[in-house]
Structure formats: structure tokens, C-alpha cells
Amino acid sequence: MSYKTINPATNEEIKSFDSISKEEVLEKIGLAHEAFGSWRQTSFDERKKVILAYAKQLRERTDEFAKLITLEMGKRIEEARYEITFCAEIAEFYANGAEEFLADEPVEVEDAEAYIQYAPIGVLMGVMPWNFPFYQVTRYATPNIMAGNTVMVRHASCVPQCAKAIEDLFAECGLPSGVYTNLFIPTEFVDTIIEDDRVQGVSLTGSERAGQAVAGTAGRNLKRSVMELGGNDAFIVLEDADLDDVVEKAIKGRMVNTGQSCVAAKRFIVVEPLADEFIKRFKTGVEQLKLGDPMDEDTDLGPLSTEGAAEDLNEKVQRAIDAGVTVVTGGGRPDRDGAFFNPTILTDISPDVATYDTELFGPVASVYRVKDEEEAIQLANDSSYGLGGSVYTKDIERGRRIAEQIDTGMVFINQPTNSQAELPFGGTKNSGYGRELSPLGIREFVNKKLIHTMESFAH
């Protein structure tokens, strides 16, 4: 297997990298394990210095790294710059907060002193996706490095230059060899790594299928795991919502990263009194989006990550159309080079159509009409996924009441699901388990060790 940079805007192959051998993988695990022995002994200040240097370089070289993202997976250059800046914010959040987040936690007990110590556990394996090639790695690597663990990363095969750039950057910032390791490896080597006794946990962001495979291997080997899988986020519009604001957020929420986000709004659930007008305005706004070169500042919608991704999305949409789903706009691929797909709106999706419970990873929105709030909640929860969701209403208390009934890991009121360093990120059901970001994220791969001391031996 080789890792290849193929510009999705043109489908031109730019560069390729060979995979390493199994023997080299085992050697790198050994180096990571050896590095853990010393890295775990470093102070928070020593770790902080490296991670803040990483953040500083991201800020100073934003354009350089953003162009790599755009070249390899087609993200619009403006969005790519934001991704790099967000990575710097995450790195700074953990560099400045890790000591507090992992401080010994007193436990009140009678006639004794007790506390919980948060201690690093060892070498971790990360299986990372292509859709946010710097962000996904940064939110996995920086908290775990700050916690004293060492991390290995198997990145997606279509973003090898991003993968290499991250490893090189950590080294340039003074991170000792073996604390962060990039691996150009075939998929089958992931099991080899997880099964190795020197590896203590695995974090994966990806598809349900990948999650089942990786979590299964982790479970059989009694290894900790965090799974951030797919999503089919509901975007609930109630009758008192500000439609101008809602439509603007609907377009942004669905089309961000050309629709290739686990937490992009995907199912638009609109109460009947607003449905016709919402669809009309949504259609108008979507049709005004300009497809084009993602390096061009004027482009509104770039290509999908690969030609294969565009073909897969097209097949799913065509099957939905054949099953009787209505196409409001779009519904296919434009006549141009590159992995492009026309922005699409689908309606009349019945539960017996596969699209009803399928994550469409691209610029395709599904719109549902419901009679009232109760039916909106029921439909939002009628999904095998449970990542994020959003509710739109002028009545904030009503919004909170509805949010509390939505079975997902995150619900946002009057804005699409998003990410911030301070906010926990993760889902329920087939969207996975565990949390990233926030203080919770740094506590996933640590030993929560109880230390208990009797005050007196007197009876």
C-alpha cells in the first residue's frame, strides 16, 4: 500500500510515499515505549514548552499548512486556515491547562487521607481521518502528550504530506524522538499495533465499520479505546424560529468542509408551518453556492476529498432517487474535472429508504416535515447515530427542554453543532463513545489511581 497526494480539484497525482514494513512498525513501537519511560517523568512545564512551541509554529505558518490541507483533501483555503488556527487554540488550551486538569483530586473519607492521581499509561495508537487532517490529530495528540503518554498515528492514506508535516513540526519544536510517531502503514498493521503488549490504548475517528474493527481488537486485548464515529445530526426548526437566521445557518451547517464533517447538520426537521418557506429559501441559498478551485478565495464549495468519495456519494443519492426520494435541487455531479458534487437537497424520505438512516458524507441535505415539537423530537431520535444536533427557537427554555430529550452527545441551541477546545466532543449509540477536547479529553487515557493513607494505626 502506498500513501498518495492526489489533488481532488483536478484528480492529479502529486506525490506518493511507501508503507513501512512490519519489522519497522515493531521497532517504532519499541522506541515509543522507551520514550515513555523518560517522557512520563518530565514536568508539566517541560511538556508545556514543546506544545506551546507547536502552537506558535501553527500560527506563524498558517498559510503553509493550510495549503497542504487544501492540496490533499480539497478543503477551501479559508476553512483550512481556520483549521490550523483552531489547532493552535487546542494546543494552547492543553499546554496551559493540563496541570490543573490532572491535579490530584482529594477524596473525603473518615479517619484517613485519600486522593486520586491522574497518571499516564503508556504508548497510545491513533487512527485518524482525512476530513480535518491537522485538527483530528492535534485534539488526540496534544492532550495525551501533555498527560505524559507517547502517541503513534496512522493517518488517512490520502493526506500523507499533512501527516509528515505534523511529525516534523513536533520534532522541530523539541519533542523527543518516540513521543510522537507517524506511521505510513497498511490497514492490517493497525491490529498488530493494538495487540502489542507495549501499547495501552487506541483512539479512532472514522466510520462505523472502522470503529467496529478497531474497538473489537481493543476489546479482545483489554485495551482502552475512544471511538468518534459517524453522525446524522438533526437540525430542528420550530415555528417561532427566525427564518432568515435559520436558513443562513442551515447552509453553513450543511456545507461546511463540503459537507464532510461528522457533526455537519444533515437532517433538517422543520415544523409544517415553516416547511415550504424554509425549503424555498434553503434551495435559493444552496443554488447560489459557487463550486470551484478550493485555493480560490471566491469559491464557496470545493471538491470532495477523493474521486472515490464523490462516486460513492453519487451512488447513494441515485439509489435514493430510484427509491422515490424527491430532489429539490442538485442530485448529481457537475460536468467538470475533479471530485465535485452538486449541492443537493432531498425531501420525501420515508423510513424504508436507506437514506433515512445513512450518513451522506458530502453536500447533500435531507429535509423532513413534522407537525409539531413532539414529532420533531421523535424523528431526531429515530437514528442509529447520536453525535450532535441543534434546535432553533426564540424560546430558550423551550430549546433547552427539547435539547434534554435529544439522544446525542451534544446539542446546540440556535447554532449548528461545532467544536471548541473547552467543550467536550463525542457521541452516543453508533456515533461512538468517550470524549475528546475539554478537561474530559485529557482524562481518557490516564490511570485514575487512588492513593489512600490511614491517619493512625490506633484502634
| Catalytic residue numbers, as ranges | 228, 262
Q: Which residues contact 108 (CB under 8 A, 6 or more apart)?
A: 114
Comparing C-alpha atoms, which of 99, 98, 91 is closest to residue 169? Answer: 91
Q: Given CA atoms 224, 388, 326, 329 in this order, what sign does their dihedral have?
A: negative
Q: Round to whole Å and give the CA distance between 30 and 372.
A: 59
User: What is the H or E stretch that residue 227 is in?
Assistant: strand 224-228
Q: Round to whole Å and give the CA distance between 425 and 205.
A: 12
Q: Return the axis-axis angle of helices 62-73 and 77-101, rounded to nearest 10°.
A: 120
User: What pairs with residue 150 in β-bridges?
Assistant: 123
Whether 58 and 65 have beta carbons less than 8 Å apart is answered as yes
At position 391, the amino acid (one-letter code) is V
Collapsed DSSP state (helix, strand, coil) of residue 106: strand
Which residue shows C-alpha cell 487544501? 70
Q: Round to whole Å and give the CA distance between 231 and 214.
A: 18
Collapsed DSSP state (helix, strand, coil) of residue 340: coil
Cα-flanking dihedrals φ and ψ of residue 12, to 5°? -90, 130
User: What is the H or E stretch that residue 346 is in?
Assistant: strand 344-347
Q: Round to whole Å and give the CA distance between 118 and 262.
A: 30
User: What is the H or E stretch that residue 216 is in?
Assistant: helix 208-220
Label residue 286 exposed, middle or buried (CB < 10 Å: 0-12, 13-18, 19+): buried
Q: Round to whole Å and give the CA distance between 39 and 42.
A: 5
